């Protein structure tokens, strides 16, 4: 079923003022409200039609598009409908990162006008520093307003002129080809400032910006993980004098350690022991994050067995306590035996005979099951 013209629904003309549209809507809404017409099944439909017409005609942009395209402007999926990218027939490129296309660049600094000024850097710390936390000094260059001209770009004692291209608005609107939409973008002559420098500052060559070295101290909390981010508010670039500086975003890189690796809140380390230490048991010196420690190796320890030292891992991410240090045991088999050592091993072999050890027994049982 075709839709009625919104003006006909409200009983107004295309030249009616917003006040006349509102008055007509109030009169019809009160007359056709479903609560006042409980016995009329069509009252609800008429009321919805009246409300839909008023929603369009009371909005100046939607009304303009309706006058141009009719009901097509309000169809679902139409780019000109409310909520569409071209609602009201105007496209605003202010939030679109097309500085490279439109030429809206801040001189040689390469900072887009819409740039928030954030700086990203990588900070490398040691494994031990990631465990205990640390304070690092970071030195880098950032963009700030020129101190000589306070960011205006004009030489001291002079003032910039109002931009004639945009009349000081900083933005211009134009018709894009044959498209029925008006495109708005940053004024290219003044780069959105609304003013044009006629007598440039010698310190910044008229850009209003300079590159300045900056050094800050950053505190890294205990237990920080590789790849974590640390944000320092206000330590980034300040591409405009009338806006706050951006942030410094640090990506934490934890350098590899010769002994340790991290597994959640635990620290994992490989400990080599001798055959006799594995068979008889022993106490061996091991490195920990707190210095040298002692690890008790139980008699009969097998290769790959994991032993733990409680509370010697990383600070827990929950903020309470520390993880463990897990020691993965490897048994070193001697490759060059003295005659006496060989004699002892042969004697051990004769002593044990064909006795099957627990792991050998399990292996043989599985082998038997596999081959029947």
Kindly report, residue by residue over 56-100, the tens digit of the pLDDT: 888 887 888 788 777 776 665 444 444 444 444 444 444 433 333
The whole-model pTM stands at 0.57
Residue 337 contacts residue 345 (beta carbons within 8 Å): yes
d(CA 162, CA 159): 10
In terms of phi and psi (left: phi > 0; alpha: psi -120 to 50; beta: otherwise), the region of 213 is beta
Classify 146 as helix, strand or coil.
Answer: coil
Minimum mean pLDDT range among 68-82, 160-174, 183-197, 269-283? 68-82
- Predicted local distance difference test score (pLDDT) of residue 34: 77
Say which residue the tokens 């490398």 belong to.
124
Q: Give mean pLDDT, residues 315-334.
A: 89
Q: Does 307 have pLDDT greater than 90? A: yes
Per the listing, tokens 């569409």 go with 84
**pLDDT for residue 155 is more than 80:** yes
Averaged pLDDT, 323-345: 90
Closest CA relative to residue 108, chosen from 211, 224, 5, 247: 211
Confidence of residue 159 (pLDDT cuts 50, 70, 90): confident
Q: Which of residues 92 and 335 earns the better pLDDT score?
A: 335
């Amino acid at each position: 079923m075709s839709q009625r013209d919104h003006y006909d629904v409200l009983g107004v003309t295309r030249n009616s003022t917003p006040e006349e549209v509102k008055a007509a809507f109030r009169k019809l809404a009160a007359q056709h409200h479903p609560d006042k017409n409980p016995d009329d099944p069509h009252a609800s439909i008429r009321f919805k039609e009246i409300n839909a017409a008023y929603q369009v005609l009371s909005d100046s942009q939607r009304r303009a598009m309706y006058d141009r395209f009719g009901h097509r402007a309000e169809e679902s999926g139409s780019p000109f409908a409310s909520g569409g990218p071209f609602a009201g027939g105007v496209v605003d490129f202010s939030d679109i990162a097309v500085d490279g296309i439109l030429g809206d660049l801040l001189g040689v600094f390469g900072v887009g006008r819409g740039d928030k000024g954030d700086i990203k850097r990588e900070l490398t710390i040691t494994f031990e520093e990631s465990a205990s936390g640390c304070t690092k000094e970071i030195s880098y260059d950032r963009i700030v307003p020129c101190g000589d001209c306070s960011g205006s770009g004009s030489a001291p004692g002079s003032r910039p002129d109002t931009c004639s291209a945009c009349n000081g608005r900083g933005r211009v609107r134009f018709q894009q080809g044959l498209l029925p939409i008006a495109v708005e973008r940053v004024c290219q002559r003044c780069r959105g400032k609304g003013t044009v420098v006629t007598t440039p500052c010698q310190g910044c060559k008229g850009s209003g910006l300079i590159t300045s070295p900056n050094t800050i101290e950053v505190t890294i909390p205990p237990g920080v993980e590789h790849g974590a981010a640390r944000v320092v508010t206000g330590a980034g670039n300040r591409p405009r004098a009338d806006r706050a500086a951006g942030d410094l975003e640090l990506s934490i890189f934890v350098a590899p350690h010769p002994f340790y690796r991290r597994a959640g809140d635990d620290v994992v380390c490989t400990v080599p022991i001798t055959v006799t230490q594995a068979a008889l048991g022993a106490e061996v010196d091991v490195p920990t994050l707190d210095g040298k420690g002692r690890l008790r190796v139980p008699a009969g320890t097998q290769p790959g067995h994991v032993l733990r030292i409680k509370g010697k891992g990383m600070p827990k991410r929950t903020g309470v306590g520390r993880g463990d240090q897990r020691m993965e045991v490897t048994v070193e088999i001697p490759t060059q035996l003295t005659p006496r050592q060989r004699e002892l091993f042969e004697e051990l072999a004769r002593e044990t005979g064909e006795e099957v050890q627990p792991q050998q027994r399990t292996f043989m049982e599985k082998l038997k099951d596999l081959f029947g």
